[in-house]
Chains A and B, each alone.
Chain A
């Protein structure tokens, strides 16, 4: 059965304090691993897709990496506007849908 576990559940950082969010997954053949950002009361915003172990992608202060068991979302020198819930999702081989983790709620304090 597909499983996605995100940790920590919540994270508070000082502005400029870099950190990483973890997404551990179990899936029967990974087609893709996705990171989304969700602000309160809004739909998720697409950030990255990772397809194979060793792959890395960057966007501004965010960098996503992938291994065979987990993915990390690294946040470098975060700003208050990076505060949001970050969702990880996996798509199994042959599947159309995504399976989401419960998210990490990030708060960046000025």
Chain B
């Protein structure tokens, strides 16, 4: 199956700092990637859709100036949490959309655990 990586796998930062999370599709190209957030024992909540070469589309209630998304290539999307605060602490997961062979499947990365002190 297709492989998606995320880096870092966990990060601890001080309140007010910015954190960048990378999402890479390792063996396929993805024009579309997605960023999710997951709280303990809850399901995945879509934050935004990242489109290669164009602006991201944010879900209602997600601040685009706080969660900056850049999809600069067909294999890399980044999420930057700006001026992070403790309430931003969460598990962030990306997925990449694989359209090869007529299928339409999202493959997920391993997630990034963000803790803001």
Contact = CB atoms under 8 A, between A and B. Distances in A.
Interface of A: 31-32, 34, 36, 41-46, 49, 87, 91, 96-103
B106 interface: yes
B46 A46 contact: no
Contacts, number: 50
B43 to A, nearest CB: 5
A99 B36 CA distance: 11
| Chain B interface mostly | strand
Contacts of B103: 49
Q: How large is the interface on B (under 10, 10 to 19, 20 to 34, 35 or more residues)?
A: 20 to 34
B110 interface: yes
Interface of B: 1, 4, 6, 32, 34, 42-44, 46, 49, 91, 93, 95, 97, 103-111, 113
Nearest to A47: B1
B3 to A, nearest CB: 11
A16 to B, nearest CB: 27
Contacts of A45: 108
